[in-house]
Amino acid sequence: MTDNDTPLINELENGPWPSYIKEIKRMAKRKPAAKDLLGVQELSFKDKITHWKHGGIVGVTGYGSGVIGRYTDVPEKFPAVEMFHTMRINQPAGWFYTTDSLRKLCDIWEKHGSGLTNFHGSTGDVILLGTNTESLQPCFNELTEAGFDLGGSGSALRTTSCCVGPARCEFSNIDTLDICRDFTQEFQDEMHRPRWPYKFKIKISGCPNDGVAAIARADFTIIGTWHDTLRIDRAEVCKYVQNGFDIKGLVIDKCPTKALTWNEKESELVIRPDDCVRCMHCINKMPKALRPGVDKGATILIGGKAPIVKGAYLSWVLVPFMKMEPPYTEAKELLHKIWEWWDENGRTRERVAELIERMGLKTFLRAVDLKPNPQMVFRPRSNPYVFFD
Amino acid sequence: MGKGKSDIGPPDYRDMLPEVIKNNYGKWKYHEITKPGVLRHVSESGAEVWTVRVGSPRLVSIDFIRDICDVADKYCDGHLRFTSRYNIELMTPKKENVDPIIKAVEKLGLPVGGTGKSISNIVHTQGWVHCHSAATDSSGIVKAIMDELYPYFISMELPARVRIALACCINMCGAVHCSDIAIVGIHTKPPKVDNTKVSAVCEIPTTMASCPTGAIRRHPDSNIKGLVVNEEKCMYCGNCFTVCPAMPLADSDGDGVAIYVGGKVSNARSVPMFSRLAIPYLPNNPPRWPEAVDAIKNIVEVYAKHALPDERMGEWIARVGWENFFKLTKIPFTEHHIDDFTHAVDTYRTTTQFRW
C-alpha cells in the first residue's frame, strides 16, 4: 500500500491542527499493523461504516479486564490488523510522568504492539492501541516490571482519575492525587476482576469547577469544597479595581445568590457567608484576591452517567460535606455499602443511578445508612403520594 | 511464559512530580494566564512554575511521545503531564525556558493554547480507527473541526471557554453530554437481525431485555431460534448490538452525527447542565465532514457575537431563550427537538413567558 491508495485520509495531513494520520504513517514505516490500519481507515472513509467487529474475550492471566479484544472484518485485505487489541494502562494520578517512565512505555510498545497510542483515553488510561493475542502476556509482564499495571474495563471499577489538584492549583480543597492513588491501590481487585451489574466510575475534582467532569460521568463523584467562608485579601481586591477591573459587572452582578456587595466608598468587597454557594465564579475571576475557605473537604455525589440505557444523569448530592483525610475510611465504607446494595439488586447493565431511580432514593438511603437532608434535593415533592411505612 | 506481577497499580504520582511541584505541593497561592497557552502559578513560598500547554491529536505514535520527552528533558528536568483534554503541559520554574519550549513544540508542528476563553482540544472517542459500534469516525472529524476552529485554540477572545466533545455513538464514553457543543454519532436505522447467527453468538433473553423500549421479541416462528425487531419502537440506541453481535445497525447512508449544545460541568455561576439537541442529523461526509464543520462554526460565531462576558453557551441560551437560539443560528426547529423519552414533560413550557 502506498500513499496513492489512501487519497481520502491523505487529505487529513493538511491543515493547522496536528494530524493523527501523519502519526499513523510515521509508525507505518516500520509496523505492518500501523500500515494496515491506514488501509482500514481509508476503507471506512470510503464505505462510511466501521470495519471492526465485536471483541472476543482476550486478556492476561488472573485479570478479567484491562484488555479490549478487537478484530477487523476485512482480515483478508489487511491481515496485520486481523487482531488489533487494546491495552488500557492505568495512568499515574494527575497524568504526571517522568520522561524515563514514558520512554520505557514506548520501548515496550515498540516491541510488543503497533507503536500507536492514545494519550489518553476518555476514562484516563494510557491506551496502547493494537496488538495480537500472543503479545498480550509478554507485553503485560514487561509493563509490570516497568512499574505499570492495567486499568479497568467491562463490568468493573473503571480507572479512577482526578484533576491536577494541589500539585499545581490553588483552588483545590482536597488532595485529589492522593485520593486517586489510595483508592486505586485499595480497589485493585474491584478494577481487575469484573463482577458487578455494569461499570462503576470514581472521579475526583478538587473544586466545584470540576476539571475532570466528575459530576457528569462518575457514579461516585468527589468534588472538593469548603464549609467556612471564602478568604478575601482586601489589598489585592483594591489592586484589581485600581487596575480597571470591572468588579461590579464581572463579579458582583454574576454572583448567583447575590452574596457579594461592593462598598465603593470604603473600597471593600463584602460577603454574606450564609448565602455563598461556593460556585467558584468570583474566585475564578480574582484568583489573586479571593480563595476558598480553610475548613476543607468534599461533597460526595452519586450516579453520574451517559445515556445508555435509561438516559443520562448528573450526579446527585449524597453527602454534602465529608472530610477527606487519609486513609479515607468514611468514603470507602460508603463505597462498600453502595456496591453491596447495587450488586444485590442491580440488573445486568444497570448503572447505580438507574437502580436508584427504579427503587427510589429513599430505599437507597436506608440501604447505605444515610439520613435525608435538604441539600440532597432542589425542592421537595409536590405530589401527595407518600408511603408511610 | 511467566505471569508478571499482579495488581501493583499504576506508578506512584509522587515519583513523577517535578521538583518545583513537589516543593510547593498544596501551597499554590494564585495563577495567571500570561498569554494564550502559558500559565504562571505562584506559591506561598514565592516560587513559581510556568506551564506551556500544547495541543495534541491524541492518537499519536511512540515517536511523538519520544519527541515530547526530548523537549521535556531539555527544558523541564525530564517531567511533563497531560490534561484531561489530551493537551500536553510542559512545566518549568524558569521563565527564560518558556519561549524556547514554545519554539521547540512549534518546530514539532504542535500548537500552543487551549487556556482561558479558548476552544481547547476536543474530547473524543475511537471511531472508525478502533470501535465496533461507531456511527461516525472520531479522530477524522475532530481533525476537520479543529483545523477550522484552530484560531480559537491559540487565542482567548471568546465570551467564555467553549468545551467541545465528540462521541462516535450514543454510548458516549466521555462526558460529551454536558459540553458547550457535543457531537454525537447516531444510527437512524433499526438493527438488521441475522437469525442465522443469533442462536450461536447471542443469549436471546439478555438481548430482549437489553432493549429500553421493549422492541425486541422472540421470532414468531418457533422453528426459528431467533429474534424480531418492532421497527416502529426502535430508537437506534444500539444497546442490543452491544450484547448481541448478530444485530448490526451501522448503515452507510443512515449513520451520521447530531449536534447538542449548551451543557457544562462546572458549578460556576449556574449549575451543571446537559447539552440539548440543536441539529438532529447531519450526514457522515469524510474526509472533512463539511456539513458538521460549518454547523459548529456557525454556532460558535453566533455565540461569540451575542453572549456577554463570562457567559457559557448554555448560560447565554438560558438568558436569550431557546427560541432566540434557533432564530439567531438559523437552525430549523423540528418535531425531533421535542422530547418524547422519559421525563419529557419536564421540558414542555408551562408559562406564558417567552419571546416572539
Tens digits of residue pLDDT in A23-36: 999 999 999 999 99
A-to-B residue pairs, Cβ atoms closer than 8 angstroms: 365
Q: Does B350 touch chain A (CB under 8 A)?
A: no
SS3 category, A324: coil
Measured between CB atoms, which of A70, A120, A181 is closest to B82? A120
Measured between CB atoms, which of A189, A312, A348 is closest to B177? A312
Distance CA B136, CA A97 (A): 33
Q: Report the pLDDT value the prediction gives residue B174, as an integer from 0 to 100.
A: 66
- The H or E element containing residue A116 is strand A116-119
| Bond before B287 cis per omega within 30 degrees | yes
The answer to whether the CB of A349 falls within 8 A of the CB of A198 is yes
Tens digits of residue pLDDT in B220-251: 998 999 999 999 999 999 999 989 999 999 99
Answer yes or no: is pLDDT of B130 > 60: yes
| B258 interaction partners in chain A (CB closer than 8 Å) | none
Mutation test of the interface with chain A: which of B34, B50, B129, choosing the one with the most A Cβ atoms within 10 A? B129
Nine-digit cell string for A127? 491506551
Nine-digit cell string for B195? 437469525
Nine-digit cell string for A18? 496536528
Measured in degrees and rounded to the nearest 5, phi and psi for residue B251 equal -150, 125
Amino acid letter for position A260:
L
Closest C-alpha to A210, from A251, A172, A170, A158 = A172
Closest Cα of chain A to B268: distance in Å?
5
Answer yes or no: is pLDDT of B1 > 60: no
Work out the average pLDDT over B283-311: 98
Contact B12 A92 (CB under 8 A): yes
Q: Does B156 touch chain A (CB under 8 A)?
A: no
Distance CA B243, CA B209 (A): 10
DSSP for A270-294, please give it.
EE-GGG-----HHHHH-TTTEE--S
Closest Cα of chain B to A166: distance in Å?
4
DSSP for A25-90, please give it.
HHHHTT-HHHHHHHHHHHHHHHHTS--EEPP-----TT-SSSEE--EES-TTT-GGGSB--EEEEP
Tens digits of residue pLDDT in A231-250: 999 999 999 999 999 999 99
Measured between CB atoms, which of B65, B150, B167 is closest to A119? B65
Work out the average pLDDT over A288-314: 94
Q: What is the largest CA-CA distance in chain A?
A: 80
Contact B143 A12 (CB under 8 A): yes
Tens digits of residue pLDDT in A314-362: 999 999 999 999 999 999 999 999 999 999 999 989 999 999 999 999 9
Distance CA A299, CA B321 (A): 31
Q: What angle do CA A97, A103, A105 make, to 5 degrees?
A: 85
Among B168-177, B231-240, B302-311, which stretch is predicted with the lowest mean pLDDT? B168-177
Give strand pairing partners of A260.
A271
Closest Cα of chain B to A151: distance in Å?
8
Q: What is the largest CA-CA distance in chain B?
A: 79
Cα distances from A151 to residues A131, B2, B8, B14, B308, in angstroms, run: 17, 20, 11, 19, 42
Q: Could you give the angle at which helices B290-306 and B313-320 cross, rounded to 10 degrees?
A: 70
Closest C-alpha to A315, from A172, A212, A235, A176 = A212
Three-class SS of chain B:
CCCCCCCCCCCCHHHCCCHHHHHCCCCEEEEEEEECCEEEEEECCCCEEEEEEECCCCEEEHHHHHHHHHHHHHHCCCEEEECCCCCEEEEECCHHHHHHHHHHHHHCCCCECCCCCCECCCEECCHHHCCCCCCCCCHHHHHHHHHHHHHHHCCCCCCCCECEEEECCCCCCCCHHHCCEEEEEECCCCCCCCCCCHHHHCCHHHHHHCCCCCCEEECCCCCCCCEEECHHHCCCCCHHHHHCCCCCCCCCCCCEEEEEECCECCCCCCCCECCEEEEEEEECCCCCCHHHHHHHHHHHHHHHHHCCCCCCHHHHHHHHCHHHHHHHHCCCCCHHHCCCCCCHHHHCCCCCCCCC
Answer yes or no: is pLDDT of A295 > 70: yes
Closest C-alpha to B127, from B161, B83, B171, B61 = B171
Comparing alpha-carbon positions, the chain A residue that sits nearest to B174 is A122
Measured between CB atoms, which of A86, A307, A310 is closest to B170? A307
Residue given cell 437560539 in the structure block: B325
| A223 interaction partners in chain B (CB closer than 8 Å) | 267
Amino acid letter for position B312:
R
Q: How confident is the model at residue A307 (pLDDT cuts 50, 70, 90)?
A: confident
Neighbouring C-alpha atoms within 13 Å toward the C-beta of A167: 28
Tens digits of residue pLDDT in A29-62: 999 999 999 999 999 999 999 999 987 789 999 9
Answer yes or no: is pLDDT of B312 > 60: yes
- The H or E element containing residue A226 is strand A220-226
Comparing alpha-carbon positions, the chain A residue that sits nearest to B159 is A250
Q: Report the pLDDT value the prediction gives residue A359, as an integer from 0 to 100.
A: 96
Tens digits of residue pLDDT in A206-222: 999 999 999 999 999 99
Work out the average pLDDT over A102-126: 97
Task: Give the strands of the sheet with B59-61, arranged side by side.
Answer: A67-68, A86-89, A126-129, A116-119, B59-61
Tens digits of residue pLDDT in A127-146: 999 999 999 999 999 999 99
Answer yes or no: is pLDDT of A377 > 80: yes
Measured between CB atoms, which of B11, B265, B286 is closest to A216? B265
Contact B63 A211 (CB under 8 A): no
Q: Which of residues 268-327 of B touch A (CB under 8 A)?
A: 268-270, 272, 274, 284, 286-288, 309-310
Tens digits of residue pLDDT in B91-114: 999 999 999 999 999 999 999 999
Work out the average pLDDT over B117-131: 96
| B171 interaction partners in chain A (CB closer than 8 Å) | 306, 308
Tens digits of residue pLDDT in B40-88: 999 999 999 999 999 999 999 999 999 999 999 999 999 999 999 999 9
Distance CA B337, CA B262 (A): 14
Closest Cα of chain A to B355: distance in Å?
23
Q: Report the pLDDT value the prediction gives residue B2, as an integer from 0 to 100.
A: 61
Q: Report the pLDDT value the prediction gives residue B3, as an integer from 0 to 100.
A: 67
Cα distances from B265 to residues A200, B59, B272, in angstroms, run: 19, 25, 5
Answer yes or no: is pLDDT of A1 > 80: no
Q: What angle do CA A197, A123, A84 make, to 5 degrees?
A: 90
Please tell me what DSSP assigns to residue A212.
T
